[in-house]
């Protein structure tokens, strides 16, 4: 999708200027490097494991979605929004609570609305688009200096110009994609 990177930057700035916050408010600066490391790992994993997806990180984790991934699949575009949580203690990787999931889903609806009104996407307004939300939990092993994906989850799906019949076919593929493998 042409201009996707520009659109992600635009939506992040728009979300911030509308005074929305990411999950759990502004991120603490001492966790920024660890979070960036985990987000980079998930971006690389998506590009390697899910062939054809392009990824963009949310600048400074300023939205509920840390990773924006996109791919044209058959006759529709899939935009995957992922919240990444990480820890050096496998048992302390944050799992999103109900409110966090609702914020991520609200952001997906916001992104859909902005996508359909953005000047960057006038040529895609009549395209079939699926936006999905999910989660990735990453464990960073300090002994090996490696990240490990320990948990993924799919939350919700939002559609534009996709029939209920097509949705029945698409949904299992989208849910599977959120396994990130």
Instruction: Encode pLDDT of 67-80 as tens digits.
Output: 999 999 999 999 99
Domains of the chain: 4-177 (3.40.1350.10)
Residue 23 has pLDDT above 60, yes or no: no
Q: How confident is the model at residue 32 (pLDDT cuts 50, 70, 90)?
A: low
User: Does the reported pTM lie above 0.75?
Assistant: yes
Residue 167 has pLDDT above 60, yes or no: yes
pLDDT for res 73: 94
Residue 24 has pLDDT above 80, yes or no: no
- 3-state DSSP: the chain helix, strand, coil percent, rounded to 5? 45, 30, 25
Rounded mean pLDDT, 7-26: 70
Q: How confident is the model at residue 112 (pLDDT cuts 50, 70, 90)?
A: very high
From the list 136, 151, 162, 114, the residue with the least C-alpha distance to 3 is 114
Q: How confident is the model at residue 27 (pLDDT cuts 50, 70, 90)?
A: very low
pLDDT for res 29: 38
pLDDT for res 19: 55
The whole-angstrom separation of Cα 70 and Cα 73 is 9
Window from 66-75, 116-125, 143-152, 169-178 with minimum mean pLDDT:
116-125
Asked if residues 11 and 114 have their Cβ atoms less than 8 Å apart, the reply is yes
pLDDT for res 20: 61
Q: How confident is the model at residue 122 (pLDDT cuts 50, 70, 90)?
A: confident
């Amino acid at each position: 999708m042409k201009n996707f990177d520009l659109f992600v930057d635009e939506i992040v700035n728009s979300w911030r200027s509308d005074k929305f916050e990411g999950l759990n408010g502004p991120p603490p600066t001492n966790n920024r490097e660890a979070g960036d490391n985990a987000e980079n790992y998930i971006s690389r994993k998506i590009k390697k494991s899910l062939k054809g997806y392009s990824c963009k990180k949310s600048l400074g984790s300023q939205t509920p979605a840390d990773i924006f991934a996109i791919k044209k699949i058959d006759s529709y575009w899939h935009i995957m929004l992922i919240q990444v949580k990480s820890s050096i203690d496998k048992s302390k990787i944050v799992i999103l609570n109900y409110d966090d999931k609702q914020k991520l889903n609200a952001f997906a609806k916001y992104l859909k609305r902005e996508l359909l009104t953005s000047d960057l996407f006038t040529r895609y307004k009549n395209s079939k688009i699926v936006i999905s939300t999910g989660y990735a939990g990453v464990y960073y092993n300090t002994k090996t200096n490696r990240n490990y994906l320990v948990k993924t989850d799919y939350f919700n799906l939002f559609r534009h110009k996709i029939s209920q019949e097509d949705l029945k076919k698409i949904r299992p593929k989208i849910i599977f994609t959120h396994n990130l493998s």
